[in-house]
């Protein structure tokens, strides 16, 4: 049996919506994931990623110990900046001449709406993928590096990661869809997607855990709430992107 789509899921969580609204969000998620996968292909190209790894600030000063030595780890913000730069280049190349047609736009480290803080106190979204035509389509993405199972549980799924979507005072998003983006720096057994599914089952704030199909992928998803009103329920999808250490930690 195939996994449900985002439309199927939102029809259950937001039954008062129109079919057109379900389809709009489903198409938006599909395009957003395809964009991230296109970026990931570019990141895997040594010529492309080399333009980033040579920059001051790509590598953390702290190294990660591994059997037989240590490896250098890219910084979270540097990986996020690389996604923004590559995505904008890909989007610019794909845009037709008609400026009125809807496109995607990618922004990083942008102030998190609704704006309840300002200046140095302002909270940020790691990544936002937005429609250039309608303000409603706005995907807020929380990104976290993934090295170990402990990091997945303590950070990715914790108060500095996924639990930001249940912060009633400062919600990570006020839209019905959000994303956790894991920057996998090495391979684990079982794989990171399976690890994420297992981890979600241990988080009391996550409900309705299942895989959905988007961009021809099976994507783990869960519901989070930052209030009691229907519009305060968020479907959080989980996507993994591969980055490399130096030397590489994969076979």
Residue 37's pLDDT band (cuts 50, 70, 90): very high
Tell whether the model's pLDDT for residue 87 goes beyond 90. yes
**CB under 8 A, 24+ apart: contacts of 186-193:** 186/147, 186/245, 186/249, 186/250, 187/249, 187/250, 187/251, 188/148, 188/149, 192/146, 192/152, 192/240, 193/218, 193/220, 193/238, 193/240
DSSP string, 98-144: -TTS--EEEEEEEE-SS----GGG--EEEEEEEESS-TT-EEEEEEE
β-bridge pairing 177-184 and 217-225: unpaired
CB-based contact 72:245 (threshold 8 Å): yes
8 Å CB contact between 173 and 230: no
* Residue 154 pLDDT > 80: yes
User: How far is it, in rounded angstroms, from Cα 127 to Cα 112?
Assistant: 10
SS3 for 189? coil
Helix, strand or coil, per DSSP, at residue 83: helix
- In this model, does residue 56 exceed pLDDT 70? yes
Q: How confident is the model at residue 97 (pLDDT cuts 50, 70, 90)?
A: low
pLDDT interval class at 119 (50, 70, 90): confident
The reported pLDDT for the residue numbered 73 is: 97
Look at residue 179 in the predicted model and tell me its pLDDT: 98
pLDDT at position 211 over 90: yes
Cα gap 228→79, rounded to integer Å: 35
Counting residues of the chain whose pLDDT is more than 70, the rounded percentage is 97
Average pLDDT along the chain: 94
């Amino acid at each position: 049996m195939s996994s449900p789509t985002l439309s199927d899921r939102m029809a259950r969580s937001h039954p008062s919506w129109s079919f057109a609204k379900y389809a709009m969000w489903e198409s938006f998620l599909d395009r957003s994931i395809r964009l991230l996968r296109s970026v990931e292909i570019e990141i895997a190209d040594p010529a492309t990623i080399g333009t980033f790894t040579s920059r001051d600030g790509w590598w953390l000063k702290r190294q990660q110990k591994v059997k037989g030595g240590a490896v250098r780890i890219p910084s979270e913000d540097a990986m996020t900046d690389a996604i923004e730069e590559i995505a904008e280049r890909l989007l610019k190349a794909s845009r037709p001449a008609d400026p009125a047609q809807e496109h995607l736009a990618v922004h990083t480290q942008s102030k998190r709406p609704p704006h309840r803080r300002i200046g140095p106190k302002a909270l940020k979204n790691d990544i936002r993928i937005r429609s250039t035509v309608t303000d409603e389509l706005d995907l807020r993405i929380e990104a976290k590096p993934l090295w170990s199972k402990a990091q997945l549980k303590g950070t990715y799924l914790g108060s500095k990661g996924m639990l930001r979507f249940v912060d009633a005072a400062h919600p990570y998003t006020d839209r019905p869809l959000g994303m956790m983006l894991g920057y996998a720096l090495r391979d684990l057994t079982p794989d990171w997607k399976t690890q994420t599914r297992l981890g979600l089952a241990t988080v009391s704030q996550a409900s309705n855990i299942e895989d959905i199909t988007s961009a021809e992928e099976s994507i783990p998803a869960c519901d989070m709430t930052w209030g009691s009103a229907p519009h305060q329920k968020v479907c959080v999808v989980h996507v993994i992107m591969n980055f490399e250490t130096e030397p590489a930690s994969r076979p």
